[in-house]
Amino acid sequence: MIRVRPMTAADVPLGMRLKEQAGWNQLEADWQRFLDMEPAGCFVAELDGTPAGTTTTCVFGPVAWVAMVLVDQAVRGRGVGRALMEHALAFLDGRGVRSVRLDATPLGRPLYEKLGFVTEYELGRHAGPPSSTGPVAGVTTGCHAHHEEILRLDQAVSGADRRKFLSRLFAERPEELRVVERAGRLPGYLTVRPGSSALQIGPCMASAEAGPLLLADAFHRHAGRTVYVDVPLSHAVAREIAAEHGLAMQRLLLRMGRGEPAGERVAELWASSGPELG
């Protein structure tokens, strides 16, 4: 029998074990962030009384994200993943969410399609130790005074008010918030967070002028360290910059949606924040 219950901090070791099985990049701090942002929307599935899977949700007003759908390898194929997703979607429907989004692997795509998700576009995870072409002029460290403008830019590009996520990232790693300013306005930002296998570069939301500067700056500051950058396959310039700095595409992700479109401006998405929250 499958029972889905709320996740608590005591389940973080389970989440870490399952993400290690899957070869994912999260830290304990990521799990705690999910729990803090949406304490009633993170779940564990038990199969015959034994914890066997996880999922998390995060509500950004009318838009929500589903992530961390992980099932123990020993019990895959027994309906645990579907039970988790159905429970998560029922929770989000109860919150009045109109658009549910997730980043899927090709393996998970059939399940999500059965639940009403459709593929919107593809992202390529580019990985490796970047090379540096030297310091980048015009990019500076962001500060608290920039936050409101950054949040407005991010909402315009992503289609979601991700304030509770981004504010937390900026507070955790203030030195990693980088911005471009032009004539009193802010056309782009980028941040970076640590992971168990690599630094996750992103999100990076920016104009055509600011995006290349921010990516080159991130690659310079983290040259020689393993990084992940998730880039829309349609964004040829961002992919070219990643390749020019020595990164290779590691795997494919599918951005999928259920319900109303969020209205992303993909041309201004230079790097996703990762599969967890878009």
* Mean pLDDT across the chain: 97
Average pLDDT over residues 106-122: 96
The phi and psi torsions of 233 (rounded to 5 degrees) equal -65, -25
Residue 107 has pLDDT above 90, yes or no: no
The phi and psi torsions of 143 (rounded to 5 degrees) equal -140, 180
Q: How confident is the model at residue 71 (pLDDT cuts 50, 70, 90)?
A: very high
| 126-138 pLDDT tens trace | 999 999 999 999 9
For tokens 């034994």, what's the residue? 50
Average pLDDT over residues 72-89: 97
Q: How confident is the model at residue 184 (pLDDT cuts 50, 70, 90)?
A: confident
Strand, coil or helix: what is 274? Answer: coil
277 forms bridges with which residues in the sheet?
none
128 close to 226: Cβ distance less than 8 angstroms: yes
Q: How confident is the model at residue 257 (pLDDT cuts 50, 70, 90)?
A: very high
pLDDT at 50: 98
pLDDT at 172: 96
| 141-164 pLDDT tens trace | 999 999 999 999 999 999 999 999
pLDDT at 266: 97
Average pLDDT over residues 227-233: 98
**Structural domains of the chain, with CATH:** 2-97 (3.40.630.30), 125-271 (3.40.630.90)
Cβ neighbourhood burial of 68 (10 Å; 0-12, 13-18, 19+):
buried
The Cα 10–Cα 124 span in angstroms is: 33
The phi and psi torsions of 229 (rounded to 5 degrees) equal -135, 120
Q: Is the pTM of this model over 0.85?
A: yes
Q: How confident is the model at residue 183 (pLDDT cuts 50, 70, 90)?
A: confident
Average pLDDT over residues 234-240: 98
Q: How confident is the model at residue 9 (pLDDT cuts 50, 70, 90)?
A: very high
Write the CA distances from 73 to 17, 21, 265, 268, integer angstroms: 11, 7, 36, 37
Q: Specify the pairing of strand 99-104 against strand 63-71.
A: parallel
**Percent of the chain predicted with pLDDT > 70:** 100
